C-alpha cells in the first residue's frame, strides 16, 4: 500500500555535526567525511567558530564548507558570555535545521552548549571522544565539567579506548550505548601522513627552519592550557630558555594566539637564537613538525595522542592527564610546570639513549585510523 511505503527522502536521517575549535575540527573532519560517505545520512555541519582562525585553517585543509557558521568569537570573551551566545545560536540553528541527531566532540564549551540546546529540544546527542575523565573538575578547567554534562545527556557514547568506556560504565551509562571506536585523531593523523607522503610540498613552510636547524636536535613545544596561565606559563618559558641554551638543541614552538600565552613567551623568549617562535601551524605542517622533532613538550590533549603514534616521547606539562594510555605505555610522562623538572627530564632523554629508546616505541594506544567509519556506521544503524 502506497500509504505505508517510506520514500528514500523520508528515511534519510539529517545528522548535524557541531564543533568550534581547532582540536575539535581535526578530530571531527574524518567523521564528517565518513558521514558523507554513509548512505541514509544527510550530513550537515555547524561550526560555532569559538576559535576563528585556528578553526578555519583546519576547515580549509579538510575541504569542509560548513552549512552554518555562527562566528561567535569575540575579543576577550568571558566563559559566561561565550556560553550564552553558543546556547542561543545553536538553539536557533537546531530550530531552523531540524536535525534528527546532533554529534558533538570532546569537552569544549561548544560541546556542552550544543548538548544543552539539543536536550531542550529533545534531539538525541552522539558524543565523540566520550568518557575521558581526570576526576578533578578543575583539571582541565572547564573541560572536565563540559564533558561530564554531555555524558549525562548523550544517548550514543563513542569512547576512544576501553579505559574511557570503563569510566562511562562507572557513571552508570548503559553499556549498550557505549561504542569503543578508537580516537578519530588517529584517522586524521594517518590521512595527513599519507597526504604528506604523496605531496610533501603541502608542508614546505617548514623548509627554512629545517635548514636553519639542520644537525640540531629539535624539541617541539605547544602550550595553551588555561590551568597554566600566569605563573605556570612563565615557568614553561624559563624551562624552554634553559633547554635552548644547549648548543645542540633547537626549540620550535608554534605559539597559541591567546594573549595569556603569547605575551609571556614574547617577554621571556624573544631574541633567543635557538628558539623559533612561529605562528600556529596548519595540520599538515604540524604533523611534519612532530615527524622532524626528537621529542615533544606540551600541555595539549590531542598532541599526547598523536606523539605515541609517531614514536615521539611526549613530556606533558600537567599535573594529571585524562589520557593515561600514553603514560601506561611508557611514551608519555607527566612533568608539571616546574622548570627544574622539565629541564631534567628533557636533558635525561637527550643524553641517555636507553631512556630515549624506552620512550620512543611507536604504537597506537589511541586507535587504528578507522574510528570515523565505525561511528558513521553506528549512527546509520541508530538514526
Ligand atoms: N595543532 C596544529 N597546529 C599547531 C599546534 C597544534 O594543528 O600549531 C594540532 C595538534 O596536532 C592537535 C591539536 O592541534 O591535533 C591540539 O590542539 P590543542 O593543543 O589546541 O588543544 P587540545 O588538544 O589540548 O584540546
From atom 11 of ligand 1, which residue's Cα is the shortest distance away? 303
For 91-141, the pLDDT digits (tens) are 999 999 999 999 999 999 999 999 999 999 999 999 999 999 999 999 899
Is residue 51 annotated as part of the catalytic site, yes or no? no
* Cα–Cα dist 107/44, whole Å: 21
* Confidence at residue 11, expressed as pLDDT on a 0 to 100 scale: 85
Q: Residue 5: is its pLDDT beyond 70?
A: no
Q: Residue 209: is its pLDDT beyond 80?
A: yes
Ligand 1 mean position to 132 CA, how many Å?
17
Q: Rounded to the nearest 5°, which phi and psi values hold at 377?
A: -65, -45
* Confidence at residue 10, expressed as pLDDT on a 0 to 100 scale: 58
From atom 3 of ligand 1, which residue's Cα is the shortest distance away? 281
Q: Residue 6: is its pLDDT beyond 70?
A: no
Is 105 in a helix, a strand, or coil? strand
Q: Which of 22, 256, 318, 323 is catalytic?
A: 256
Q: State the average pLDDT over residues 199-211.
A: 97
For 286-310, the pLDDT digits (tens) are 999 999 999 999 999 999 999 999 9
The yes/no answer on whether domain 13-183+368-381 falls in CATH 1.10.3720.10 is: no
Is residue 256 annotated as part of the catalytic site, yes or no? yes
Helices (H), 63-108: 79-97
Q: Name the segment(s) of the chain with CATH classification 3.40.50.2000.
A: 13-183+368-381, 205-360
Q: Residue 1: is its pLDDT beyond 50?
A: no
Burial 92-129 (b: 16+ CB within 10 A, else e): ebbeeeebebbbbbbbbbbbbbbbbbbbeeebbbbbbb
| Domain spanning 205-360, CATH class | alpha beta
Mutate to test the pocket of ligand 1, among 187, 205, 286, 323 (most ligand atoms within 8 A of CB): 286
Q: Report yes or no: 361 and 79 within 8 Å, Cβ to Cβ.
A: no
340 burial via Cβ count (<10 Å: 0-12, 13-18, 19+): exposed
Sign of the Cα pseudo-torsion (337, 343, 344, 346, in order): positive
Q: Residue 243: is its pLDDT beyond 50?
A: yes
For 127-140, the pLDDT digits (tens) are 999 999 999 999 89
Q: Residue 325: is its pLDDT beyond 70?
A: yes
Q: Residue 383: is its pLDDT beyond 90?
A: no
Q: State the average pLDDT over residues 13-40.
A: 97
Q: Residue 274: is its pLDDT beyond 60?
A: yes
Residue 217: CB atoms within 10 Å: 14
312 burial via Cβ count (<10 Å: 0-12, 13-18, 19+): buried
161 burial via Cβ count (<10 Å: 0-12, 13-18, 19+): buried
Nearest 10 degrees: CA dihedral of 188, 54, 112, 176? 0
Q: State the average pLDDT over residues 10-20.
A: 93
Q: State the average pLDDT over residues 253-274.
A: 94
- In the chain, the percentage of residues whose pLDDT exceeds 90 is 92
Q: Residue 4: is its pLDDT beyond 60?
A: no
* Cα–Cα dist 346/218, whole Å: 11
Q: Residue 339: is its pLDDT beyond 60?
A: yes
Is residue 129 annotated as part of the catalytic site, yes or no? yes
Amino acid at each position: 500500500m502506497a500509504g505505508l511505503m517510506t520514500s528514500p527522502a523520508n528515511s534519510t536521517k539529517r545528522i548535524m555535526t557541531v564543533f568550534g575549535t581547532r582540536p575539535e575540527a581535526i578530530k571531527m573532519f574524518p567523521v564528517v567525511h565518513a558521514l558523507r560517505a554513509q548512505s541514509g545520512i544527510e550530513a550537515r555541519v555547524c561550526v560555532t567558530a569559538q576559535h576563528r582562525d585556528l578553526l578555519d585553517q583546519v576547515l580549509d585543509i579538510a575541504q569542509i564548507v560548513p552549512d552554518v557558521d555562527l562566528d561567535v568569537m569575540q575579543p576577550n570573551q568571558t566563559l559566561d558570555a561565550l556560553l550564552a551566545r553558543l546556547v542561543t545560536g545553536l538553539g536557533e540553528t537546531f530550530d531552523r535545521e531540524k536535525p534528527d541527531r546532533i554529534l558533538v566532540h570532546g569537552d569544549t564549551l561548544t560541546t556542552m552548549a550544543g548538548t544543552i540546546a539539543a536536550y531542550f529540544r529533545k534531539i538525541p546527542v552522539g558524543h565523540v571522544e566520550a568518557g575521558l575523565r581526570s576526576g578533578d573538575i578543575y583539571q582541565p578547567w572547564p573541560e572536565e565539567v563540559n564533558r561530564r554534562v554531555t555524558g549525562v545527556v548523550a544517548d550514543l557514547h563513542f569512547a576512544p579506548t576501553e579505559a574511557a568506556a570503563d569510566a562511562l560504565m562507572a557513571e552508570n551509562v548503559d553499556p549498550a550505548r557505549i561504542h569503543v571506536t578508537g580516537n578519530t585523531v588517529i584517522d586524521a593523523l594517518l590521512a595527513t601522513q599519507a597526504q604528506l607522503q604523496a605531496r610533501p610540498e603541502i608542508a614546505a613552510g617548514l623548509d627554512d627552519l629545517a635548514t636553519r636547524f639542520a644537525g640540531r636536535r629539535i624539541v617541539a613545544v605547544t602550550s595553551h592550557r588555561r590551568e597554566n596561565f600566569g605563573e605556570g606559563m612563565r615557568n614553561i618559558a624559563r624551562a624552554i630558555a634553559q633547554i635552548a641554551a644547549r648548543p645542540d638543541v633547537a626549540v620550535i614552538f608554534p605559539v597559541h594566539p591567546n594573549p595569556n600565552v603569547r605575551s609571556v613567551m614574547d617577554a621571556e623568549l624573544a631574541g633567543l637564537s635557538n628558539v623559533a617562535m612561529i605562528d600556529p601551524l596548519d595540520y599538515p605542517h604540524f604533523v611534519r613538525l612532530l615527524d622532524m622533532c626528537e621529542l615533544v613538550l606540551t600541555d595539549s590533549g590531542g598532541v599526547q595522542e598523536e606523539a605515541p603514534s609517531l614514536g615521539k616521547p611526549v613530556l606533558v606539562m600537567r599535573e594529571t592527564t585524562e589520557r593515561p594510555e600514553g603514560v601506561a605505555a611508557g611514551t608519555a610522562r607527566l612533568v608539571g610546570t616546574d622548570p627544574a623538572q622539565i629541564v631534567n627530564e628533557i636533558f635525561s632523554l637527550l643524553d641517555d639513549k636507553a631512556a630515549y629508546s624506552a620512550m620512543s616505541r611507536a604504537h597506537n594506544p589511541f586507535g587504528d585510523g578507522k574510528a570515523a567509519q565505525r561511528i558513521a556506521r553506528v549512527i546509520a544503524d541508530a538514526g
